[in-house]
Copies of this chain bind each other. A is one copy, B any other.
């Protein structure tokens, strides 16, 4: 799938190795694991309709409320109610799959269908590395993670607010974040959602880089629009979504649910609420521009009902994710959920067990876009350098499972049984020699050596090895530079825009 060419690109490809050889997204060849019956799905669809008809949803954005009124909803102030089936019919104009174009066409991703796209974690105020410990994120950390995500063949996407660059003013940092994605990576990226104006800035910057002719004709930005659950969409998010939808850019409408706090406490109720909330968000985008690309999102954690702390890697979200995957396919839209989530403060065994306990079901649900696929620690408060490397490594293993069973003549290997007698080893057989280099996925971070060798090499645990690995990876970074004229235009445009702001940190 990777672009291959000669000359300068060819030389760079040879140096970068696996990076440019990677497929731009994962194509799943095995079916999802369905953890809920068809009757169960029908019950949840029915309940979502009842919630929207009987309770309704709060919408704190007048333009959206007006569009829903015009479309036949019942409006009382900010409360909007929908007859059963109405919201679903409004979502019908949404595409089942779409392409998010990257500035490197070889890295454009399909969103929906059998495609799965892995993106880094999103939104942490803190970062952590082994030596520096936990500290506030900076624009340098942000750029480091953009570079690391660019270099990781198992991450298909550059993500969005990978960490908050708290050293920059709140009202201007979106310029620097979007510019970092555009400059330091050529993978697809996510835009600003903290104000309608910032969404417009994102679109304008993308237009400089992709070209006037391509935006809004093509989708080049995908953004995360979170509900204020339960059953509320706020003005800021809907303003941003309105800008993106009007410009044919993609939005992921995601209820962000701590079950038991932002929703009822039981999985079946959470699932109905997610469907209700996300459908309303997607419908809002369709009313702005029918056919605007949208994604049904679902972020769910449980909580410790004694302390109120969010908990991850628990069983209930696994069931919910599976159901939401099925509901999205029945609705005919792409689905986002999951990630490698954990409450752990460090990349220890807890972090890994929990991350895996979310990620396995994420893939088994047939998820199309996996935000938080690498780096997440401490319930999302911290982006970890070592965690990022360990998670990204695991993505390679998950991807190979999803590619399914090879049943070619060569893989059946019947000649091998004739080549090697019972009781003899297969290590040197012609079949083994012809296949061993590609037969098994190999972790870049796991240590499979003997105890004695591991001890002789310093008894390094996974975190220590990951610490060495991210520094080495980052040291080898080469920028996939923008054309000089484009880079210059982007710089000048940002300077002009920034100059219009007062120098406040608000």
A346-B461, A417-B51, A429-B264 known; A442 vs B311 contact (CB < 8 Å):
yes
For the complex, count residues of A whose C-beta is within 8 A of B: 129
B residues in contact with A345, CB < 8 Å: 447, 451, 454-455, 459
Partner of A437, one of B305, B352, B431: B305
Partner of A344, one of B394, B446, B450: B446
Task: Confirm or deny: A31 has a beta carbon within 8 angstroms of a beta carbon on chain B.
Answer: yes
Task: Confirm or deny: A501 has a beta carbon within 8 angstroms of a beta carbon on chain B.
Answer: no
B residues in contact with A382, CB < 8 Å: 451
**Which of A397, A416, A439, A445: most chain B Cβ within 10 A?**
A439
B residues in contact with A264, CB < 8 Å: 413, 416-417, 420, 426, 429, 431-432
B residues in contact with A18, CB < 8 Å: none
Interface flags for A406-431 (1: CB within 8 Å of B; 0: not) read 11101111101110101111110101
Partner of A407, one of B40, B51, B316, B417: B40
**Cα–Cα, bound, A406→B269 (Å):** 10
B residues in contact with A30, CB < 8 Å: 33-35
**Cα–Cα, bound, A63→B349 (Å):** 49
Q: Are B353 and A418 in contact (CB under 8 A)?
A: no
* CB pairs A–B below 8 angstroms (15 shown): A36-B405, A230-B425, A264-B429, A269-B412, A269-B417, A269-B431, A305-B437, A307-B448, A315-B441, A316-B400, A347-B349, A348-B461, A349-B390, A353-B356, A353-B446
CB contacts under 8 Å to B, within A112-145, are 134
Partner of A424, one of B230, B351, B381, B454: B230
Q: Are A309 and B412 in contact (CB under 8 A)?
A: no
Q: Nearest Cβ distance between residue A469 and chain B, in whole angstroms?
A: 13
Question: Which one of A52-60, A64-72, A288-296, A367-375 is at the interface?
Answer: A52-60
B residues in contact with A401, CB < 8 Å: 35, 315, 318-319, 361
Task: Confirm or deny: A79 has a beta carbon within 8 angstroms of a beta carbon on chain B.
Answer: yes
Q: Are B350 and A445 in contact (CB under 8 A)?
A: yes
CB contacts under 8 Å to B, within A264-283, are 264-269, 272-273
Task: Confirm or deny: A228 has a beta carbon within 8 angstroms of a beta carbon on chain B.
Answer: yes
A269-B416, A349-B349 known; A397 vs B314 contact (CB < 8 Å):
yes
Q: Are A230 and B349 in contact (CB under 8 A)?
A: no
Pick the 7 closest A-B CB pairs, nearest first: A356-B356, A269-B413, A352-B352, A231-B422, A315-B400, A33-B33, A264-B416
Question: Which one of A162-170, A198-206, A240-248, A255-263 is at the interface?
Answer: A255-263
Task: Confirm or deny: A304 has a beta carbon within 8 angstroms of a beta carbon on chain B.
Answer: yes
B residues in contact with A399, CB < 8 Å: 315
B residues in contact with A426, CB < 8 Å: 230, 260-265
Copies of this chain, complex-wide, total: 2
Task: Confirm or deny: A443 has a beta carbon within 8 angstroms of a beta carbon on chain B.
Answer: yes
Task: Confirm or deny: A310 has a beta carbon within 8 angstroms of a beta carbon on chain B.
Answer: yes
B residues in contact with A355, CB < 8 Å: 353
Q: Are A412 and B268 in contact (CB under 8 A)?
A: yes
B residues in contact with A459, CB < 8 Å: 345
**Cα–Cα, bound, A411→B36 (Å):** 14
Task: Confirm or deny: A462 has a beta carbon within 8 angstroms of a beta carbon on chain B.
Answer: yes
Q: Nearest Cβ distance between residue A386 and chain B, in whole angstroms?
A: 8
Task: Confirm or deny: A159 has a beta carbon within 8 angstroms of a beta carbon on chain B.
Answer: no
Task: Confirm or deny: A463 has a beta carbon within 8 angstroms of a beta carbon on chain B.
Answer: yes
Task: Confirm or deny: A313 has a beta carbon within 8 angstroms of a beta carbon on chain B.
Answer: yes
Task: Confirm or deny: A232 has a beta carbon within 8 angstroms of a beta carbon on chain B.
Answer: yes
Partner of A441, one of B54, B316, B346, B423: B316
Interface flags for A330-369 (1: CB within 8 Å of B; 0: not) read 0000000000000111111111111111001100100000
Q: Are A407 and B43 in contact (CB under 8 A)?
A: yes
Q: Nearest Cβ distance between residue A61 and chain B, in whole angstroms?
A: 14
Task: Confirm or deny: A106 has a beta carbon within 8 angstroms of a beta carbon on chain B.
Answer: no
A448-B307, A448-B343, A449-B307 known; A261 vs B411 contact (CB < 8 Å):
no
Q: Are A443 and B311 in contact (CB under 8 A)?
A: yes
**Cα–Cα, bound, A435→B412 (Å):** 51
Partner of A55, one of B39, B417, B425: B417
**Cα–Cα, bound, A357→B442 (Å):** 13
**Cα–Cα, bound, A170→B459 (Å):** 32
Q: Nearest Cβ distance between residue A338 and chain B, in whole angstroms?
A: 13
**Cα–Cα, bound, A50→B415 (Å):** 11
B residues in contact with A269, CB < 8 Å: 411-414, 416-417, 431
**Cα–Cα, bound, A400→B320 (Å):** 13
Q: Are B423 and A304 in contact (CB under 8 A)?
A: no
B residues in contact with A31, CB < 8 Å: 33-34
Q: Nearest Cβ distance between residue A84 and chain B, in whole angstroms?
A: 14
Q: Are B423 and A232 in contact (CB under 8 A)?
A: yes
**Cα–Cα, bound, A344→B261 (Å):** 38
